[in-house]
A = this chain, B = another copy of it.
Amino acid sequence: MKKKILLTPGPTPVPTQVLLAMAGPSIHHRTPEFMAIFKEMNDNLKYVFQTKNDVFTFAASGTGAMEAAVVNLLSPGDTALCIQAGKFGERWTELCKAYQVNPIVIDVAWGDAVQPEAIEKALKEHKNIKAVFTTLCETSTGVVTDIKAIGQVMLKSEAVLVTDAISALGSIDLQTDAWGVDVVVAGSQKGLMIPPGLGLCSVSPKAWKLVEKALCPRYYFDLRTAKKALDKTDTAFTPAVTLCIGLNEALKMIKAETLEKTFARHQRLSRAVRAGMQAIGLKLYAKKPADAVTAVCVPEGIDGEKLVKAIRDDFGISIAGGQAELKGKIFRIAQMGYMNEFDIITGISCIELMLAKMGYAFERGKGVGAAEKELLA
Protein backbone atom coordinates (compact mmCIF):
# COMPACT_ATOMS: atom_id res chain seq x y z
CA MET A 1 0.00 0.00 0.00
CA LYS A 2 2.34 2.69 -1.30
CA LYS A 3 0.87 6.16 -0.85
CA LYS A 4 1.97 8.65 -3.46
CA ILE A 5 3.43 11.60 -1.62
CA LEU A 6 4.75 14.69 -3.38
CA LEU A 7 7.56 16.49 -1.57
CA THR A 8 8.93 18.10 -4.71
CA PRO A 9 9.29 21.87 -5.17
CA GLY A 10 6.50 21.82 -7.72
CA PRO A 11 4.19 20.22 -8.48
CA THR A 12 3.09 20.21 -4.86
CA PRO A 13 0.19 18.29 -3.28
CA VAL A 14 -3.28 19.49 -4.25
CA PRO A 15 -5.86 19.55 -1.42
CA THR A 16 -8.71 17.09 -1.96
CA GLN A 17 -11.31 19.85 -1.76
CA VAL A 18 -9.52 21.62 -4.63
CA LEU A 19 -9.33 18.42 -6.70
CA LEU A 20 -13.04 17.86 -6.19
CA ALA A 21 -13.92 21.45 -7.09
CA MET A 22 -12.05 20.93 -10.36
CA ALA A 23 -13.92 17.66 -10.96
CA GLY A 24 -17.30 19.42 -10.81
CA PRO A 25 -19.66 19.87 -13.78
CA SER A 26 -17.92 21.58 -16.70
CA ILE A 27 -18.93 25.20 -17.12
CA HIS A 28 -18.51 27.64 -19.96
CA HIS A 29 -16.15 30.55 -19.35
CA ARG A 30 -18.42 33.23 -20.77
CA THR A 31 -21.18 32.83 -18.19
CA PRO A 32 -22.11 34.77 -15.05
CA GLU A 33 -21.21 31.64 -13.07
CA PHE A 34 -17.61 31.55 -14.28
CA MET A 35 -17.28 35.34 -14.18
CA ALA A 36 -18.21 35.30 -10.48
CA ILE A 37 -15.50 32.70 -9.77
CA PHE A 38 -13.00 34.57 -11.95
CA LYS A 39 -13.71 37.86 -10.19
CA GLU A 40 -13.30 36.28 -6.77
CA MET A 41 -10.11 34.57 -7.97
CA ASN A 42 -8.69 37.86 -9.22
CA ASP A 43 -9.50 39.59 -5.91
CA ASN A 44 -7.94 36.73 -3.98
CA LEU A 45 -4.86 36.86 -6.20
CA LYS A 46 -4.34 40.50 -5.22
CA TYR A 47 -4.42 39.43 -1.57
CA VAL A 48 -1.81 36.72 -2.10
CA PHE A 49 0.33 38.89 -4.40
CA GLN A 50 0.03 41.68 -1.77
CA THR A 51 -0.77 44.19 -4.46
CA LYS A 52 -3.35 46.57 -5.79
CA ASN A 53 -2.08 45.90 -9.31
CA ASP A 54 -3.93 43.74 -11.79
CA VAL A 55 -2.88 40.10 -11.77
CA PHE A 56 -3.07 38.33 -15.13
CA THR A 57 -3.64 34.62 -15.54
CA PHE A 58 -2.48 32.75 -18.63
CA ALA A 59 -3.15 29.17 -19.60
CA ALA A 60 0.58 28.40 -19.59
CA SER A 61 3.34 27.14 -17.36
CA GLY A 62 5.26 29.68 -15.26
CA THR A 63 7.75 30.10 -18.10
CA GLY A 64 4.93 31.47 -20.24
CA ALA A 65 4.33 34.21 -17.66
CA MET A 66 8.09 34.93 -17.61
CA GLU A 67 7.93 35.36 -21.38
CA ALA A 68 4.96 37.70 -20.89
CA ALA A 69 7.12 39.86 -18.63
CA VAL A 70 9.98 40.07 -21.15
CA VAL A 71 7.96 40.69 -24.31
CA ASN A 72 5.59 43.21 -22.74
CA LEU A 73 8.23 45.36 -21.05
CA LEU A 74 10.99 45.49 -23.63
CA SER A 75 11.90 46.13 -27.24
CA PRO A 76 14.58 44.45 -29.35
CA GLY A 77 17.87 46.23 -28.62
CA ASP A 78 16.87 47.19 -25.07
CA THR A 79 19.14 46.30 -22.20
CA ALA A 80 18.08 44.31 -19.17
CA LEU A 81 19.88 43.12 -16.08
CA CYS A 82 19.53 39.40 -15.41
CA ILE A 83 20.48 37.88 -12.09
CA GLN A 84 21.69 34.34 -12.59
CA ALA A 85 22.14 32.21 -9.53
CA GLY A 86 20.73 28.96 -10.85
CA LYS A 87 18.73 27.29 -13.57
CA PHE A 88 15.76 29.61 -13.32
CA GLY A 89 17.79 32.82 -13.25
CA GLU A 90 19.37 31.60 -16.48
CA ARG A 91 15.92 31.38 -18.02
CA TRP A 92 15.57 35.19 -17.83
CA THR A 93 18.78 35.53 -19.84
CA GLU A 94 17.63 32.97 -22.39
CA LEU A 95 14.28 34.74 -22.75
CA CYS A 96 15.96 38.11 -23.29
CA LYS A 97 18.25 36.65 -25.94
CA ALA A 98 15.33 34.98 -27.71
CA TYR A 99 13.72 38.42 -28.12
CA GLN A 100 16.93 40.28 -29.00
CA VAL A 101 17.05 42.10 -25.69
CA ASN A 102 20.65 42.55 -24.51
CA PRO A 103 21.12 40.88 -21.17
CA ILE A 104 23.72 42.19 -18.75
CA VAL A 105 24.25 39.19 -16.52
CA ILE A 106 25.24 39.14 -12.88
CA ASP A 107 26.51 35.62 -12.40
CA VAL A 108 26.17 34.50 -8.82
CA ALA A 109 27.76 31.29 -7.59
CA TRP A 110 25.15 28.56 -7.32
CA GLY A 111 24.09 28.19 -3.71
CA ASP A 112 24.43 31.90 -3.04
CA ALA A 113 22.18 34.94 -3.57
CA VAL A 114 22.95 38.19 -5.35
CA GLN A 115 24.17 41.13 -3.26
CA PRO A 116 21.77 44.06 -3.71
CA GLU A 117 24.85 46.29 -3.98
CA ALA A 118 25.88 44.44 -7.13
CA ILE A 119 22.58 45.46 -8.70
CA GLU A 120 23.03 49.04 -7.52
CA LYS A 121 26.47 49.09 -9.10
CA ALA A 122 25.24 47.63 -12.39
CA LEU A 123 22.45 50.21 -12.56
CA LYS A 124 24.98 52.99 -12.07
CA GLU A 125 27.32 51.62 -14.70
CA HIS A 126 24.62 50.93 -17.27
CA LYS A 127 22.12 53.75 -17.30
CA ASN A 128 20.24 52.08 -20.12
CA ILE A 129 19.01 49.11 -18.09
CA LYS A 130 15.24 49.06 -18.46
CA ALA A 131 14.38 46.04 -16.37
CA VAL A 132 16.01 43.97 -13.65
CA PHE A 133 15.06 40.29 -13.68
CA THR A 134 15.32 38.48 -10.37
CA THR A 135 14.28 35.20 -8.75
CA LEU A 136 12.71 35.13 -5.28
CA CYS A 137 13.38 31.47 -4.58
CA GLU A 138 15.81 29.79 -6.95
CA THR A 139 14.30 26.30 -6.98
CA SER A 140 17.41 24.70 -8.41
CA THR A 141 19.56 25.73 -5.41
CA GLY A 142 17.01 26.36 -2.65
CA VAL A 143 18.29 29.91 -2.20
CA VAL A 144 16.15 32.93 -1.31
CA THR A 145 16.96 36.38 -2.69
CA ASP A 146 16.40 39.53 -0.64
CA ILE A 147 13.91 41.20 -2.94
CA LYS A 148 13.03 43.83 -0.33
CA ALA A 149 16.64 45.04 -0.30
CA ILE A 150 16.79 45.01 -4.09
CA GLY A 151 13.61 47.10 -4.14
CA GLN A 152 15.40 49.56 -1.87
CA VAL A 153 18.49 49.94 -4.06
CA MET A 154 16.22 50.38 -7.07
CA LEU A 155 14.14 53.14 -5.51
CA LYS A 156 15.87 55.86 -7.50
CA SER A 157 16.22 53.82 -10.68
CA GLU A 158 13.95 54.16 -13.66
CA ALA A 159 14.30 50.44 -14.36
CA VAL A 160 11.45 48.15 -13.42
CA LEU A 161 11.96 45.32 -10.98
CA VAL A 162 10.68 41.93 -12.14
CA THR A 163 10.65 38.96 -9.78
CA ASP A 164 10.14 35.34 -10.68
CA ALA A 165 8.22 34.17 -7.64
CA ILE A 166 7.05 30.96 -9.29
CA SER A 167 8.52 28.80 -6.56
CA ALA A 168 7.62 30.90 -3.64
CA LEU A 169 4.48 32.98 -3.97
CA GLY A 170 2.22 32.05 -1.10
CA SER A 171 5.13 30.38 0.72
CA ILE A 172 7.63 33.19 1.27
CA ASP A 173 6.71 36.80 2.03
CA LEU A 174 6.83 38.99 -1.07
CA GLN A 175 5.31 42.42 -0.53
CA THR A 176 4.78 43.39 -4.14
CA ASP A 177 3.61 46.96 -3.58
CA ALA A 178 5.45 47.76 -0.34
CA TRP A 179 8.77 46.57 -1.74
CA GLY A 180 8.25 48.12 -5.16
CA VAL A 181 8.20 45.00 -7.30
CA ASP A 182 6.79 46.03 -10.65
CA VAL A 183 6.12 42.61 -12.11
CA VAL A 184 5.73 39.46 -10.05
CA VAL A 185 5.55 36.18 -11.95
CA ALA A 186 3.97 33.08 -10.42
CA GLY A 187 2.93 29.56 -11.34
CA SER A 188 0.02 27.49 -10.15
CA GLN A 189 1.77 24.31 -9.05
CA LYS A 190 3.88 25.55 -6.14
CA GLY A 191 2.72 27.58 -3.14
CA LEU A 192 -0.62 28.11 -4.85
CA MET A 193 -1.41 24.41 -4.36
CA ILE A 194 -3.03 23.50 -7.67
CA PRO A 195 -1.81 21.44 -10.64
CA PRO A 196 0.51 23.02 -13.22
CA GLY A 197 -1.04 24.91 -16.13
CA LEU A 198 -1.48 28.53 -15.01
CA GLY A 199 1.15 31.25 -15.32
CA LEU A 200 0.43 34.53 -13.54
CA CYS A 201 1.89 38.01 -13.42
CA SER A 202 1.08 41.27 -11.68
CA VAL A 203 1.90 44.56 -13.38
CA SER A 204 2.52 47.92 -11.65
CA PRO A 205 1.54 51.31 -13.13
CA LYS A 206 5.26 51.98 -13.72
CA ALA A 207 5.56 48.74 -15.69
CA TRP A 208 2.40 49.57 -17.66
CA LYS A 209 4.16 52.53 -19.21
CA LEU A 210 6.68 50.11 -20.68
CA VAL A 211 3.96 47.71 -21.80
CA GLU A 212 2.48 50.43 -23.95
CA LYS A 213 5.83 51.23 -25.58
CA ALA A 214 7.39 47.77 -25.85
CA LEU A 215 8.06 46.59 -29.39
CA CYS A 216 8.77 42.92 -28.83
CA PRO A 217 6.30 40.99 -30.97
CA ARG A 218 3.60 39.27 -28.96
CA TYR A 219 0.10 37.91 -29.31
CA TYR A 220 -0.85 35.11 -26.93
CA PHE A 221 0.99 36.78 -24.05
CA ASP A 222 0.06 40.34 -25.02
CA LEU A 223 -0.85 42.15 -21.80
CA ARG A 224 -2.69 44.87 -23.71
CA THR A 225 -5.36 42.47 -24.95
CA ALA A 226 -5.27 40.66 -21.61
CA LYS A 227 -5.95 43.97 -19.84
CA LYS A 228 -8.87 44.86 -22.10
CA ALA A 229 -10.42 41.50 -21.30
CA LEU A 230 -9.64 41.63 -17.58
CA ASP A 231 -11.37 44.99 -17.28
CA LYS A 232 -14.52 43.13 -18.34
CA THR A 233 -13.80 40.18 -15.99
CA ASP A 234 -12.90 38.17 -19.06
CA THR A 235 -9.84 36.61 -20.70
CA ALA A 236 -8.51 37.30 -24.19
CA PHE A 237 -8.46 33.59 -25.02
CA THR A 238 -10.21 30.58 -23.52
CA PRO A 239 -9.00 30.30 -19.92
CA ALA A 240 -8.07 26.98 -18.30
CA VAL A 241 -11.48 26.87 -16.62
CA THR A 242 -10.95 23.99 -14.19
CA LEU A 243 -7.56 25.29 -13.07
CA CYS A 244 -9.10 28.72 -12.40
CA ILE A 245 -11.84 27.07 -10.33
CA GLY A 246 -9.18 25.14 -8.41
CA LEU A 247 -7.02 28.20 -7.94
CA ASN A 248 -9.90 30.14 -6.45
CA GLU A 249 -10.52 27.33 -3.93
CA ALA A 250 -6.83 27.20 -3.02
CA LEU A 251 -6.63 30.98 -2.64
CA LYS A 252 -9.62 30.88 -0.31
CA MET A 253 -7.72 28.39 1.85
CA ILE A 254 -4.69 30.71 2.00
CA LYS A 255 -6.95 33.63 2.87
CA ALA A 256 -8.63 31.61 5.62
CA GLU A 257 -5.26 30.67 7.11
CA THR A 258 -4.06 34.27 6.50
CA LEU A 259 -0.84 35.01 4.64
CA GLU A 260 0.91 35.78 7.92
CA LYS A 261 0.23 32.32 9.31
CA THR A 262 0.93 30.68 5.97
CA PHE A 263 4.40 32.23 5.88
CA ALA A 264 4.99 31.33 9.55
CA ARG A 265 4.06 27.71 8.79
CA HIS A 266 6.52 27.57 5.90
CA GLN A 267 9.23 29.04 8.11
CA ARG A 268 8.57 26.53 10.90
CA LEU A 269 8.54 23.57 8.52
CA SER A 270 11.71 24.75 6.80
CA ARG A 271 13.56 25.24 10.08
CA ALA A 272 12.52 21.73 11.05
CA VAL A 273 13.79 20.19 7.81
CA ARG A 274 17.09 22.03 8.05
CA ALA A 275 17.54 20.96 11.69
CA GLY A 276 16.63 17.38 10.80
CA MET A 277 19.09 17.15 7.94
CA GLN A 278 21.93 18.68 9.92
CA ALA A 279 21.21 16.41 12.90
CA ILE A 280 22.08 13.38 10.79
CA GLY A 281 25.28 14.97 9.60
CA LEU A 282 24.14 16.31 6.24
CA LYS A 283 25.12 19.71 4.94
CA LEU A 284 22.72 22.29 3.56
CA TYR A 285 23.58 23.44 0.06
CA ALA A 286 22.10 26.96 0.13
CA LYS A 287 23.93 29.75 1.91
CA LYS A 288 20.63 31.59 2.27
CA PRO A 289 18.08 28.79 2.40
CA ALA A 290 14.55 29.58 1.24
CA ASP A 291 11.63 28.74 3.51
CA ALA A 292 10.05 26.79 0.69
CA VAL A 293 12.56 24.20 -0.45
CA THR A 294 15.61 22.73 1.26
CA ALA A 295 18.58 21.69 -0.82
CA VAL A 296 20.77 19.14 0.94
CA CYS A 297 24.21 17.91 -0.11
CA VAL A 298 24.34 14.20 -0.80
CA PRO A 299 26.89 12.68 1.60
CA GLU A 300 30.14 11.14 0.37
CA GLY A 301 29.77 7.64 -0.96
CA ILE A 302 26.05 7.93 -1.68
CA ASP A 303 24.71 8.20 -5.23
CA GLY A 304 22.27 11.13 -5.16
CA GLU A 305 20.33 10.06 -8.23
CA LYS A 306 19.90 6.55 -6.84
CA LEU A 307 18.75 7.96 -3.51
CA VAL A 308 15.94 9.97 -5.09
CA LYS A 309 14.91 7.10 -7.35
CA ALA A 310 14.95 4.52 -4.57
CA ILE A 311 12.83 6.71 -2.29
CA ARG A 312 10.30 7.01 -5.09
CA ASP A 313 10.36 3.33 -6.04
CA ASP A 314 10.37 1.89 -2.52
CA PHE A 315 8.14 4.38 -0.69
CA GLY A 316 6.13 6.17 -3.41
CA ILE A 317 7.53 9.47 -2.19
CA SER A 318 8.78 12.05 -4.69
CA ILE A 319 11.61 14.31 -3.61
CA ALA A 320 13.74 16.17 -6.16
CA GLY A 321 17.31 15.57 -7.18
CA GLY A 322 19.76 18.19 -8.40
CA GLN A 323 19.48 19.82 -11.81
CA ALA A 324 22.18 20.60 -14.38
CA GLU A 325 25.56 20.93 -12.63
CA LEU A 326 24.03 19.73 -9.35
CA LYS A 327 22.81 16.43 -10.75
CA GLY A 328 23.50 13.69 -8.22
CA LYS A 329 25.10 16.16 -5.81
CA ILE A 330 22.07 17.45 -3.93
CA PHE A 331 18.53 16.41 -3.17
CA ARG A 332 15.68 18.80 -2.49
CA ILE A 333 12.67 18.52 -0.21
CA ALA A 334 9.88 21.04 -0.53
CA GLN A 335 8.09 22.85 2.24
CA MET A 336 5.74 24.46 -0.18
CA GLY A 337 1.99 24.86 -0.32
CA TYR A 338 -0.27 22.19 1.12
CA MET A 339 2.22 20.73 3.60
CA ASN A 340 2.21 20.36 7.34
CA GLU A 341 4.32 18.94 10.19
CA PHE A 342 3.75 15.33 9.28
CA ASP A 343 4.61 15.76 5.62
CA ILE A 344 7.94 17.08 6.82
CA ILE A 345 8.41 14.27 9.32
CA THR A 346 7.59 11.79 6.56
CA GLY A 347 10.13 13.47 4.31
CA ILE A 348 12.89 13.33 6.91
CA SER A 349 12.05 9.78 7.87
CA CYS A 350 12.13 8.49 4.30
CA ILE A 351 15.55 10.05 3.82
CA GLU A 352 16.74 8.45 7.08
CA LEU A 353 15.38 5.07 6.00
CA MET A 354 16.91 5.17 2.56
CA LEU A 355 20.27 6.54 3.70
CA ALA A 356 20.42 3.75 6.27
CA LYS A 357 19.60 1.20 3.59
CA MET A 358 22.33 2.65 1.39
CA GLY A 359 24.91 2.32 4.14
CA TYR A 360 25.21 5.87 5.43
CA ALA A 361 26.08 5.82 9.14
CA PHE A 362 24.03 7.94 11.56
CA GLU A 363 21.83 7.55 14.63
CA ARG A 364 18.36 6.56 13.40
CA GLY A 365 15.57 8.94 14.35
CA LYS A 366 17.94 11.75 15.19
CA GLY A 367 16.82 13.81 12.20
CA VAL A 368 13.16 13.40 13.04
CA GLY A 369 13.88 14.21 16.68
CA ALA A 370 15.67 17.44 15.81
CA ALA A 371 12.80 18.41 13.53
CA GLU A 372 10.25 17.72 16.25
CA LYS A 373 12.13 20.04 18.58
CA GLU A 374 11.97 22.82 16.00
CA LEU A 375 8.28 22.20 15.36
CA LEU A 376 7.49 22.78 19.05
CA ALA A 377 9.93 25.68 19.44
Contact = CB atoms under 8 A, between A and B. Distances in A.
Contact of A196 (B24, B195, B199, B240): B240
A201 to B, nearest CB: 13
Given A64-B237, A98-B217, 10 more contacts: A11-B26, A11-B27, A11-B238, A59-B197, A61-B220, A61-B238, A61-B239, A63-B220, A76-B217, A99-B217
Interface in A1-59: 3-4, 6, 8, 10-14, 19-20, 22-29, 31, 58-59
A23 B19 contact: yes
The size bracket of the interface on A is: 35 or more
A105 interface: no
A187 interface: yes
A200 interface: no
A219 B63 CA distance: 9
Contacts of A216: 217
Given A197-B197, A197-B242, A219-B98, A11 B23 contact: no
29 contacts: A4-B27, A6-B28, A11-B27, A19-B23, A26-B195, A27-B318, A28-B318, A59-B60, A59-B61, A60-B220, A61-B240, A62-B237, A62-B238, A63-B219, A63-B238, A64-B64, A64-B220, A94-B219, A95-B219, A98-B217, A99-B217, A195-B240, A195-B242, A195-B243, A196-B239, A196-B241, A197-B241, A197-B242, A216-B217
**3 nearest CB pairs, A to B:** A197-B240, A98-B219, A195-B242
Nearest to A101: B217
Contacts of A240: 61, 195-197, 240, 243
Nearest to A97: B219
A62 B197 CA distance: 13
Nearest to A10: B238
A14 B189 CA distance: 22
A312 interface: yes
Interface string A334-354: 000000000000000000000
A242 B243 CA distance: 9
Nearest to A187: B238
B26 A6 contact: yes
Contacts of A220: 60-61, 63-64, 67, 221
Copies in the complex: 2
Q: Which of A8, A20, A197 has the most chain B CB within a 10 Å cutoff?
A: A197
A278 interface: no
A218 B199 CA distance: 17
A100 interface: yes
A222 interface: yes
A239 B187 CA distance: 12
A253 to B, nearest CB: 15
A66 B225 CA distance: 16
A256 B309 CA distance: 34
A25 B317 CA distance: 12
